[in-house]
Amino acid sequence: MVGVNTSATPPTTAKAPPCDVCEALAAQRDAALEAGRAGEVGDCERELMEHGRNGRGCAP
């Protein structure tokens, strides 16, 4: 095949770093998970999903 560049790598899409709210909610979720507080883990997950859904475009 003439003209085919096989050494090119596909473009990568860098994920934006999480915002302060995402980082705080993720830390709270992780602490609750380690402590066995399943209800709090679920609350944090819901808040993370809502935060991302409200147009902020971020979530860990």
Q: How many residues are recorded in the chain?
A: 60
What's the whole-model pTM score? Answer: 0.63
Instruction: Give the model's pLDDT for residue 9.
Output: 58
DSSP code for 5: -
58 contacts 22 by C-beta, under 8 angstroms: yes
Q: What's the sign of the alpha-carbon dihedral 48, 41, 28, 15?
A: negative
Angle value at C-alpha 30, between 27 and 17, nearest 5 degrees = 45
Along the chain (60 residues), what's the average pLDDT of each consecutive run of 10 residues?
58 67 92 96 92 64
What whole-number distance in Å separates Cα of residue 1 and Cα of residue 49? 47
